[in-house]
Amino acid sequence: MKIYTIKEDILSRNNERAKEVRALLDSKGIFYVNLMSSPGAGKTTALTKLIPLLSENFRIGVIEADIDSDKDALTVERETGAKVIQMHTAGACHITCQMSLEALEALGTDGLDLIFLENVGNLVCPAEFDTGADMNLVLLSVPEGDDKPLKYPLMFEVAHAVAVTKLDVTEIFDFSTERAVENIRKRNSGAEIFFTSSVKGDGIDALAQYIKNKAFKKIRKD
């Protein structure tokens, strides 16, 4: 069972590194959000909707992590004007804190107040690695089904907030918002839960306000 020992070492080193990242961002007054979900749950779309609502108050940077392609980085840059870099993970299914740190350095943190890390689309592995972020924001899309917190427990356990996305197709997919809340609560009693639709605009303001409050609390030390 050597593999598990190795994994523990990796995680332990990762957690040490996460403390360094937090100290760095704290000293610079930057709020850092780690956005995680399954592939295609709407991470990039959420960013294109949230950033315009946040850019009045914050100078925003975005790290787009993908195994391959630069599609998301181009989309976010074009639609929001935020400072964006694309990071390729060389096949890796998650972002370690070392990768997070290198990406922050590559992005350049000077002059920024709020940075989003769009993690690799994966409901399993990214949850295991602390990226040094102040907030883990997890998306659960309606077409995936309301049972996902039961099957992918750690992702929902590490979430500070869960945003259900694509709320406009709830009826088509027989998705129950009550069951979703119930299943999220089985994994996490304290996470904030939002119901959003980027098509209809539902819930985006509330989610932006939540991020704004948390970021102000850190940056201004409210």
Residue 157 as a binder of a copy of itself (CB under 8 A): the answer is no
Residue 163 contacts residue 196 (beta carbons within 8 Å): yes
Measured CA distances, 18 to 92, 97, 221 (Å)? 18, 6, 21
Kindly give the pairing relationship between strand 135-141 and strand 31-36: parallel
Q: Which DSSP symbol is given to 172?
A: T
Residue 172 as a binder of a copy of itself (CB under 8 A): the answer is yes
Residue 24 contacts residue 131 (beta carbons within 8 Å): no
Report the site for a copy of itself in 6-35 (rule: CB under 8 A).
Answer: 6, 10
Please say whether the dihedral angle defined by the alpha carbons of residues 132, 133, 134 and 138, taken in this order, is positive or negative: negative
Cβ-based nearer residue to a copy of itself, 54 or 131: 131
Residue 99 contacts residue 92 (beta carbons within 8 Å): yes
Report the site for a copy of itself in 100-129 (rule: CB under 8 A).
Answer: 120-125, 128
Cβ-based nearer residue to a copy of itself, 85 or 169: 169
Residue 74 as a binder of a copy of itself (CB under 8 A): the answer is no
Q: Give the contacts of 124 (CB within 8 A, at least 6 positions apart).
A: 93, 152, 154, 155
One residue of 16, 23, 78, 151 binding a copy of itself per CB under 8 A:
151
Residue 215 as a binder of a copy of itself (CB under 8 A): the answer is no
One residue of 8, 12, 39, 217 binding a copy of itself per CB under 8 A:
39
Q: Give the contacts of 182 (CB within 8 A, at least 6 positions apart).
A: none
One residue of 12, 16, 40, 105 binding a copy of itself per CB under 8 A:
40
Compute how many residues bind a copy of itself; rule: CB under 8 A: 35
State the residues that interact with a copy of itself by CB under 8 A: 3, 6, 10, 38-40, 66-69, 71-72, 91, 93, 120-125, 128, 141, 143-145, 147-148, 150-154, 166, 169, 172
